[in-house]
Amino acid sequence: VGPALPSMAISKIKTDKNGNPDRAKYRIVVLGNLDPHNWDSTDCFTPVLSSPELQILTAVATQLKRIPKSGDVSQAFVQSI
């Protein structure tokens, strides 16, 4: 396993029909173009949240008094292609 690849956050403000801000969309993407390994085009990797990672995420959200919300995961994979 090599070093972790850098990532960046992408944000977009969605507007209503009058041009007023309606909602914000955020996603985190990995900069795969910086990966030194030449992956085969048939290789496919899907990020999966493990049980300990979910517990840590829930604990941090509780500490910060935040309510965890889920995103539209099915659309995330469709639009990442």
CB atoms within 10 A of CB 53: 10
Taking residues 6-15, report their average pLDDT. 88
Taking residues 59-72, report their average pLDDT. 82
Distance CA 58, CA 52 (A): 10
- Please tell me which residue, 27 or 69, carries the higher pLDDT value: 27
Alpha helices in 1-81 (DSSP H): 51-63, 73-79
**pLDDT on residue 60:** 92
Give the predicted TM-score (pTM) of the model.
0.36
